[in-house]
Amino acid sequence: MEDRNPYILIVDDERGLRLGTQRLLQSEDFTVDTAENGTEGILLGTRNDYDLAIIDMKMPDIDGLEVLKEIKKARPNTVCFIATAFASYDTAIEATRIGAYSYIPKPFTPEELLHQLEKGYNQRVLTIEAEKLRKEREERLLELASEQSRLKTIINSISGGVLVVNKSGEVVYFNNAALKNLNLDSLTIGQYILDKIPEKATEIVSGFIDGATAENLTKSIQIELIKDTLFVEIICSTVLNNDSSFAGVVLIIRNITEMKKIELVKSQFVSMVAHELKTPVAAVQGFLKIILDDSIPITEDQQREYLSRSVGRLQGLLDLVNDLLDISRMELKTKQRELGSLRLKEILESTVQFLKFECEHKNIQVISGIPDNLPVLHADHNELTRLFTNIISNAIKYNIENGKIFITVTEEKHYLVIAISDTGIGLKEEDRKKLFHEFFRAKNEKTRGISGTGLGLTIVQRIVDSYHGKITVESEYGKGSTFKIYLPKTNK
Amino acid sequence: MTIQERVKKILLVDDDFDLLEQNKLLLESRGFTVVTADSGSAGFETFKKEMPDAAIVDLIMEEHDAGFVLCHRIKGTKYGKRIPVLMLTSATYDTGFKFGAGTDEEKEWIKCDGILNKPVIVEELLTKLEDFFE
């Protein structure tokens, strides 16, 4: 309002007075509208939101009080003055009752008029300010009401349980998830709760209540509520009043079952890795100690043999570490994949070439039937090479002397199927099922002396999975095994 | 009576050939006679044939619990109850598998007279064997 000139309406049938007042007020920076009779006065006064209005009492068409009444009805915040040469106590009372701010007796001096208008204008500013504040307050209250219901909806929607306990140990608030995560059927506001929640949580809550600490404290615990089925984390925090005195405790109850399961798998894996790493180290250490121990008589040939076996164990350890690193990279997906168009025939042939020495060592014959016109695969060269190396080297390792390996590639609907068969020792049914488990190695009289990390097929499985392929194994103990790898053809 | 006089023949069972051979040498150097087997099932056959004065059995062999099973089988025989049977493993607390044969309840369950960490320290082994006869 301060930004603009006061906006005023003059309603007077006397032309001279009307124009004179207009000129005076315009020179004082008022914005002025004039009406020469009551009808026009009502029209303008109700249509525009004037700050001020000066209304002549006596007009030929409509009485000034009537004009005042109409304007006040439409524009209650317009500050109205009644001007009259026939001032009387009764009309003054009547005008004030209808809503006139004040009474200006005619004739008036410019000073008298401006003084009155200034007072009226200040009143108008105050009224509007108060109005604005009132409106704002109402809006805030409305907001607050909807805020509360919104908060309630939000708290009820979150998956974490929320439970608020007062200093007497009674429930003052809870959401649906609190019931679910605490495995409770029902709760009522006001109910004593400390014998319903897990004992360890009760200990914390009771501790807070007994101490009645005027501090923000938080403690959390993890509890196995139902064996192997429901693990929860309960975070207890003190709730303080505005004056910082102790009010109660809020419990946040999170279902951490999935997290716990992953943790368990992880820790089992770490245990197995540790065991697998320790064994070769122990073997090497054992040989070295024997060589260094003068009380154990061994020949020079034996010493040489033990050193060479130590080298073998260390190589195995190194292979294991490399396999573990590969798995870890695959898991982290940090391994940079370089997808390119690959010819399966070339990869398989170069893999066989790479393993030629091992084949010749056992006099194993590789027979392959790979068509020349296979569709190209869109894949990472290193990954596919690793995949086939692991499978073909198993086919060599677990083969018999003078055995055979058959490699064929066929097309089956959406897949390219690579079948690698051997004439080796085969798998017992119970071993076949565990074949892709980390560190699993079939152990029987026939596998004796065959080294390996137990991770080769784990890596194979992961590579195949990453291309949305699949792998199957058929085997007969004592006769041989066939691994079939299904890789999706690349859509062009 | 020295332990070598009490325990003349020891059965060693381990599926790791290197460790089996090392422990055999180690024990032979201390005056024991050693017979070996490389799996749980072979271990029990050797036990029956050789009637050793003590047995040292690796835990994880062809199965994760092959050593357990062998201990139970040996202790299930009349003769087996009279000889010390020690379980050999690297799967102790530091690798996450938590067990021991400390309490009577654990001994009842594990059916062995002591647990030996890999790699074997001969002095520790001798102490455990002596403990059995006291």
> Tens digit of pLDDT for each residue in A163-214?
999 989 999 999 989 999 998 888 889 899 888 888 888 999 999 888 877 7
Compute φ and ψ for A275, nearest 5 degrees.
Answer: -65, -45
**Domains of chain B: which residue ranges?**
3-133
Look at residue B132 and tell me whether its pLDDT is greater than 50: yes
Whether the pLDDT of residue B90 is over 90: the answer is: no
Question: By the CB < 8 Å criterion, does A293 face chain B?
Answer: yes
Question: In chain B, whose CA is at the least distance from the CA of A291?
Answer: B22
Res A492: pLDDT: 46
Q: State mean pLDDT over A71-90.
A: 85
Entry pTM? 0.59
When pLDDT is cut at 50, 70 and 90, the band that residue A33 belongs to is very high
Question: Phi/psi at A196 (nearest 5 deg)?
Answer: -105, -25
Task: Determine how many CB atoms are found less than 10 A away from the CB of residue A352.
Answer: 18
Instruction: List the single residue in B61, B62, B90 with the smallest CB-CB distance to A278.
Output: B90
Of all residues in chain A, the percent with pLDDT exceeding 90 is: 44
Q: What is the pLDDT of residue A55?
A: 92
Say whether residue A288 is in contact with chain B using an 8 A CB cutoff.
no
Continuous segment of H or E residues that includes residue A96: helix A89-98
| Chain A residue at shortest CA distance from B119 | A282
Mean pLDDT for A112-134 is: 90
Mean pLDDT of chain A: 88
pLDDT tens for A303-312 read 999 999 999 9
Among B19, B61, B91, beta carbon nearest to A283? B19
Contact across the interface for B29 and A295, Cβ inside 8 Å: yes
Closest residue, chain A, to B27 (C-alpha)? A296
In whole angstroms, give the CA distance from residue A316 to residue A450. 11
pLDDT of residue B91: 57
Q: Is the pLDDT of residue B101 over 60?
A: no
**Number of Cβ pairs < 8 A linking chain A and chain B:** 61
Give the percent of chain A with pLDDT over 70.
Answer: 98
What's the per-residue H, E or C state across A6-32?
Answer: CEEEEECCCHHHHHHHHHHHHHCCCEE
Q: Which residues of A touch B94 (CB under 8 A)?
A: 274
> Would the pLDDT of B94 be above 60?
no
Q: Is the pLDDT of residue B63 over 80?
A: no
CB contact under 8 A, A279 and B118: yes
Question: Which whole number is the average pLDDT over B40-57?
Answer: 92
Cα A306 from chain centre: 57
Which pLDDT does position A1 carry in this prediction?
Answer: 46
Q: From the CB of residue A162, how many other CB atoms can be counted at a distance below 10 Å? A: 18
Report the alpha-carbon distance of residue A62 to residue A73 in Å, rounded. 16
Mutate to test the interface with A, among B95, B117, B120, B123 (most CBs of A within 10 A): B95
Question: A318: pLDDT confidence band, cut at 50, 70 and 90?
Answer: very high
User: Does A430 contact B at CB distance below 8 Å?
Assistant: no
pLDDT of residue B113: 82
Chain A residue closest to B98 (CA)? A271
Say yes or no for a CB contact (<8 Å) between A449 and B18.
no
Between B6 and A309, the more confident residue is A309
- Comparing CB atoms, the residue among B18, B29, B38 nearest residue A287 is B18
Query: Domain B3-133 is of which CATH architecture?
Result: 3-Layer(aba) Sandwich (3.40)
ipTM: 0.82
Task: Give all domains of chain A, ordered by start, each with its CATH number.
Answer: 7-132 (3.40.50.2300), 159-255 (3.30.450.20), 260-332 (1.10.287.130), 339-488 (3.30.565.10)
Mean pLDDT of A290-315: 92
DSSP code string of B38-99: SSHHHHHHHHHHH--SEEEEESSSSSTTHHHHHHHHHHTSTTGGGS-EEEEES-SGGGT---
How far apart CA A288 and CA A114 sit, in angstroms, is 114
Q: What pLDDT score was predicted for residue A334? A: 53
Which helix H or strand E contains A254, and what residues bound it? strand A246-255
Name residue A422's amino acid.
Answer: D
pLDDT band, very low/low/confident/very high, at A288 (cuts 50, 70, 90): very high
The reply to whether omega before A107 is within 30° of 0 (cis) is: yes
Query: pLDDT per residue over B12-28, tens digit each?
Result: 999 888 999 999 999 99
Segment A454-486, tens digit of pLDDT: 888 989 998 998 888 999 999 999 999 999 999
Nearest in space to B75 (alpha carbons), one of B107, B104, B97 = B107
Number of helices (H) and strands (E), helices first, in chain B?
Answer: 6, 5
A124 reaches B (C-beta below 8 A): no
Beta-carbon contacts of residue A242 (< 8 Å; ≥ 6 apart):
none
Res. A325 pLDDT band, cuts 50 70 90: confident
pLDDT reading at B95 higher than 50 = no
Contacts of residue B27 in chain A, CB cutoff 8 Å? Answer: none
CB < 8 Å to B43, chain A: none
Which range of A46-50, A278-282, B110-114 scores highest in mean pLDDT? It is A46-50
**pLDDT at site A491:** 54
Cis ω on the peptide bond leading into residue B119 (within 30° of 0)? Answer: yes
- Mean pLDDT, chain B, rounded, equals 82
